[in-house]
């Protein structure tokens, strides 16, 4: 990594751990708003580093530059996708569904949908009704126990979805991100801001 490492956080799922290092306190805190409920301890398997500069910013995997940009706001979603991909790969022995997941009275509810199908909005509405948060993106199910593993990264709202929850906008981390050639607007929300508990335990699905 070019530049001093001043901030490091470790995130994990199951037995997998990765470190995110940065020279920027702001970035470390912003990224922590997305993966803070997945903060962990232990020996790491993967290290990502983010250097925030005056005019250019860089994302490294080891010593390799993976992403460069002049826009600070692109760093969080760029790294989010890499971290998410590493964690999904680490959970290869689970059944993986593109779905939101919540729980009530110890029972998981899995909400499958395609991208843009309203998973996050439905999960958010259920959280405001007292459901526990498991995930807004992936449901990982143990094929033997049929329990859903928590994957509690921050909820990620696209512009259409956040308009259904205008009261949440001021609480979110707002970024702009190139989504297939179009500049997209994203809001990351801590599930705790919706009055929800965040489940730390796998829940049985029925």
Looking at the fold, whether 70 and 13 belong to one and the same domain comes out as yes
Looking at the fold, whether 104 and 200 belong to one and the same domain comes out as yes
Are 75 and 50 a contacting pair, CB within 8 Å? yes
Domain limit, last residue, from 46, 67, 90: 90
Looking at the fold, whether 35 and 125 belong to one and the same domain comes out as no
pTM comes to: 0.91
CB neighbours of residue 189 within 10 Å: 24
Are 173 and 188 a contacting pair, CB within 8 Å? yes
Looking at the fold, whether 100 and 185 belong to one and the same domain comes out as yes
Domain ranges, residue 156 = 95-205
Looking at the fold, whether 115 and 195 belong to one and the same domain comes out as yes
Looking at the fold, whether 69 and 131 belong to one and the same domain comes out as no
Q: What is the pLDDT of residue 116?
A: 80
Are 5 and 22 a contacting pair, CB within 8 Å? yes
- Cα 126 versus chain centre, distance: 19
Q: What is the pLDDT of residue 65?
A: 96
The structure tokens listed for 160 are 């259409």
Residue 1 lies in a domain: no
CA dist., res. 202 & res. 187, Å (int): 27
Please count the structural domains in the chain. 2
Looking at the fold, whether 68 and 17 belong to one and the same domain comes out as yes
Domain limit, last residue, from 90, 112, 146: 90
The structure tokens listed for 66 are 């993976």
Residue 75, phi then psi, degrees to nearest 5: -65, -45
Per-residue pLDDT tens, the chain, 206 aa: give them: 455 678 999 999 999 999 999 999 999 999 999 999 999 999 999 999 999 999 899 999 989 999 999 999 999 999 999 999 999 999 999 999 999 999 999 999 999 988 888 899 999 999 999 999 999 999 999 999 999 999 999 999 998 899 999 999 999 999 987 756 667 889 999 999 998 889 889 999 97
Looking at the fold, whether 160 and 187 belong to one and the same domain comes out as yes
CA dist., res. 97 & res. 158, Å (int): 20
Q: How far is CA 92 from CA 78, 95, 147, 188, in A?
A: 22, 8, 15, 26
Domain limit, last residue, from 90, 112, 145: 90
Residue 147, phi then psi, degrees to nearest 5: -105, 145
CA dist., res. 22 & res. 20, Å (int): 7
């Amino acid at each position: 990594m070019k530049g001093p490492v001043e901030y490091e956080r470790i995130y994990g799922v199951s037995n997998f751990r990765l470190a995110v290092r940065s020279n920027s306190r702001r970035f470390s805190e912003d990224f922590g708003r997305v993966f803070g409920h997945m903060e962990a301890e232990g020996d790491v398997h993967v290290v990502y580093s983010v250097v925030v500069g005056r005019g250019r910013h860089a994302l490294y995997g080891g010593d390799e530059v993976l992403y460069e940009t002049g826009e600070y706001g692109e760093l969080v979603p760029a790294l989010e996708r890499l971290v998410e991909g590493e964690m999904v790969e680490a959970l290869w022995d689970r059944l993986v569904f593109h779905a939101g997941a919540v729980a009530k009275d110890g029972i998981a509810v899995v909400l499958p949908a395609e991208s843009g199908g309203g998973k996050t909005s439905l999960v958010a509405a259920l959280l405001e009704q007292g459901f526990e948060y498991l995930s807004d993106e992936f449901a990982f199910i143990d094929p033997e126990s049929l329990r859903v593993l928590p994957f509690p990264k921050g909820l990620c709202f696209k512009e259409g979805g956040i308009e259904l929850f205008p009261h949440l906008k001021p609480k979110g981390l707002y970024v702009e991100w190139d989504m297939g050639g179009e500049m997209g607007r994203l809001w990351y929300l801590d599930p705790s801001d919706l009055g929800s508990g965040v489940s730390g335990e796998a829940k049985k699905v029925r």
